[in-house]
């Protein structure tokens, strides 16, 4: 009898440890990945050039959009922050890679992390996630990673952007954050520089781009393998997207501002193909506009208030008084002899977002998403409400709409995991892990098992005692003799729990 009781206790200890879910967050899991400059049609390249089996696996078992309508201007920082916040650039305030704020009297560069530039209305998904009980975010190299929003940073992040980290190490770091034994994240946000770099230096149609796309696909394959090895792949919702596309440019297609304007009369805030101009005090914006308007047939010039409404690029003090926009494939420089971009680049982006090659990819896979679905295009501002829906978060005000992307998601809510500890009322004085869903089921099953073990033990004890009485009768011992099972059980080793299982 004692042996049965001890086995019961040992199994209870094992199940208590096995039932703990602290090594992986109990709620829905989401990983947002951006491959900078991944044009929407790179996935459709001829298999004789590049095969991309890992992307195709995710597409066949998940969803793909034909393309995503990104935001004007089609550059890296503005669109990455739009994806993260669901806001157009005029609303979240990161209106270009290079900006001038007349109220601050300062210039913004790519390494600027002061919240006065970033925390002006938009809330990135990693902060929205942490506003909810139990939410923890990990951000690796995404623009805005090191910025405090309402004095809050991502729970996991790098101290500064580091583009030298090998891609497989970025994957290892992110997966490690998800399976951290003490404080696992439930949202990961991960950035890669390619294929943007290759697109600039070699052009989107080059053989070098084919090699880079193969490398990117192998990175996706490594991510899949590592998620599977960690036991996370079936639970992980993965969104792979980008900020913009890419197109070929030529040194024969260049517009020189020095032909029309004295460079000492203005501050050239942002460069090409959308040129942002701040007139110096002694020069009026009318002078700048008049000098550039109709100066070149491949350049369109706007007063700030006349920028087309569909660009959502008017209502912000960081949008310069005069904007010049080059036609696709053309480059705006001050002087062709000194322009680094014009001399080096074979591909570029930043053009009108209605030009199809500027649009990026969207591929998603996981328990929340439908399978083998090709979606019509939607806007990149819709990705934020989609992520909030998957994670069960209250949205910060944004310009997107979940209704535009609801067709990507399974109608049933069964894709969600069991309620997390934070969603269960924990009685005072009771450890939270004892109230988790999984452990509750385990303990319930254990009680049934324990009842069976105890019942069998009592039944066997009665049989043994009956046989002992019979034997005593047959040998004329004159008294009943019975052995305690515990004396034998004490000689048996007790099964010990060896930590979490």
Residue range 375-423, pLDDT digits in tens: 999 999 999 999 999 999 999 999 999 999 999 999 865 555 544 333 3
- Residue 277 clears pLDDT 50, i.e. is over it: yes
Q: What is the pLDDT of residue 4?
A: 52
- Residue 497 clears pLDDT 50, i.e. is over it: no
- Residue 439 clears pLDDT 80, i.e. is over it: no
Of 224, 181, 186, the C-alpha closest to 54 is 224
Q: Of residues 24 and 239, which shows the higher confidence score?
A: 239
Query: pLDDT digits over 299-351, tens only?
Result: 999 999 999 999 999 999 999 999 999 999 999 999 988 776 667 899 999 99
Q: What is the pLDDT of residue 58?
A: 98
76 is catalytic: yes
Q: Which of 76, 198, 272, 421 is catalytic?
A: 76
What is the rounded CA–CA span in Å between residue 79 and residue 84?
A: 9
Average pLDDT for 66-71: 98
Average pLDDT, the chain: 84
Of 118, 266, 141, the C-alpha closest to 194 is 141
What whole-number percentage of the chain has pLDDT above 90? 73
Domain topology for 254-344: Gyrase A; domain 2 (3.30.1360)
Q: What is the pLDDT of residue 500?
A: 30
Q: Of residues 488 and 29, which shows the higher confidence score?
A: 29
Contact between 129 and 393 (Cβ < 8 Å): yes
What is the rounded CA–CA span in Å between residue 55 and residue 40?
A: 12
Task: Give 284-291 contacts, CB < 8 A, sequence gap 24+.
Answer: 285/321, 285/322, 288/261, 288/321, 288/322, 289/322, 291/260, 291/261
- Residue 477 clears pLDDT 60, i.e. is over it: no
- Residue 432 clears pLDDT 50, i.e. is over it: no
Break the chain into its structural domains and give their ranges: 2-19+436-489, 29-87+122-249+354-423, 254-344
Cα 251 to Cα 41, 201, 247, 360, 488: the distances in Å are 25, 13, 13, 25, 91
At 3, the pLDDT band (50, 70, 90 cuts) reads: low
At 276, the pLDDT band (50, 70, 90 cuts) reads: very high
Q: Does the domain made of 29-87+122-249+354-423 have the CATH classification 3.40.720.10?
A: yes
Least confident range from 2-16, 212-226, 297-311: namely 2-16
- Residue 7 clears pLDDT 90, i.e. is over it: no
Of 133, 121, 126, 125, the C-alpha closest to 92 is 121
Least confident range from 15-29, 189-203, 279-293, 467-481: namely 467-481
Average pLDDT for 53-81: 98
- Please, what's the b/e burial string for 276-296 (b: 16 or more CB within 10 A of its CB; e: otherwise)? bbbbeeebebebbbebbeebb
């Amino acid at each position: 009898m004692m042996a049965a009781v001890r086995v019961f206790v040992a199994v209870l200890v094992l199940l208590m440890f096995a039932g703990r879910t602290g090594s992986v967050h109990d709620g829905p899991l989401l990983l947002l990945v951006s491959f900078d400059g991944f044009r929407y049609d790179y996935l459709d390249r001829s298999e004789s050039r590049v095969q991309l089996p890992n992307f195709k696996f995710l597409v066949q078992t998940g969803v793909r959009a034909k393309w995503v309508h990104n935001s004007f201007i089609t550059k890296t920082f503005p669109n990455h922050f739009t994806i993260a916040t669901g806001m157009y650039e005029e609303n979240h305030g990161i209106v270009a890679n290079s900006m001038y704020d007349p109220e601050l009297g300062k210039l913004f560069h790519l390494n600027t992390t002061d919240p006065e530039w970033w925390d002006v209305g938009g809330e990135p998904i990693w902060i929205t996630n942490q506003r909810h009980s139990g939410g923890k975010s990990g951000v690796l190299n995404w623009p805005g990673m090191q910025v405090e929003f309402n004095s809050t940073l991502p729970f996991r992040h790098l101290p500064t952007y580091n583009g030298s980290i090998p891609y497989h190490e970025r994957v290892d770091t992110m997966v490690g954050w998800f399976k951290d034994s003490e404080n696992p994240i439930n949202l990961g946000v991960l950035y890669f520089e390619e294929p943007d770099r290759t697109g600039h230096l070699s052009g989107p149609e080059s053989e070098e781009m084919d090699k880079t796309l193969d490398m990117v696909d192998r990175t996706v394959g490594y991510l899949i393998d590592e998620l599977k090895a960690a036991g996370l792949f079936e639970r992980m919702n993965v969104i792979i997207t980008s900020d913009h596309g890419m197109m070929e440019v030529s040194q024969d297609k260049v517009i020189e501002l020095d032909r029309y304007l004295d460079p000492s009369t203005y501050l050239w805030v942002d460069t090409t193909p959308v040129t942002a101009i701040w007139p110096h005090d002694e020069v009026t914006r009318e002078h700048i506009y008049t000098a550039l308007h109709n100066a070149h047939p491949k350049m369109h010039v706007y007063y700030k208030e006349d920028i087309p409404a569909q660009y959502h690029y008017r209502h912000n003090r960081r949008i310069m008084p005069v904007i010049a926009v080059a036609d696709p494939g053309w480059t705006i420089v001050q002087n062709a002899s000194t322009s680094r971009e014009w001399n080096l680049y074979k591909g570029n982006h930043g053009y009108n977002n209605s030009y199809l090659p500027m649009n990026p990819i969207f591929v998603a896979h996981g328990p929340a998403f439908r399978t083998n679905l090709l979606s019509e295009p939607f806007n990149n501002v819709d990705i934020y409400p989609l992520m909030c829906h998957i994670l069960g978060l209250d949205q910060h005000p944004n310009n997107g709409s979940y209704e535009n992307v609801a067709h990507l998601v399974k109608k049933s809510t069964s894709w969600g995991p069991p309620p997390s500890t934070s969603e269960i009322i924990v009685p005072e004085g009771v450890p939270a892990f004892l109230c988790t869903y999984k452990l509750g089921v385990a303990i319930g099953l254990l009680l049934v098992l324990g009842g069976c073990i105890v019942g069998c033990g009592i039944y066997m004890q009665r049989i043994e005692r009956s046989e002992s009485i019979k034997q005593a009768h047959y040998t004329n011992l004159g008294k009943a003799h019975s052995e305690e099972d515990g004396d034998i059980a004490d000689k048996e080793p007790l099964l010990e729990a060896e930590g979490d299982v």
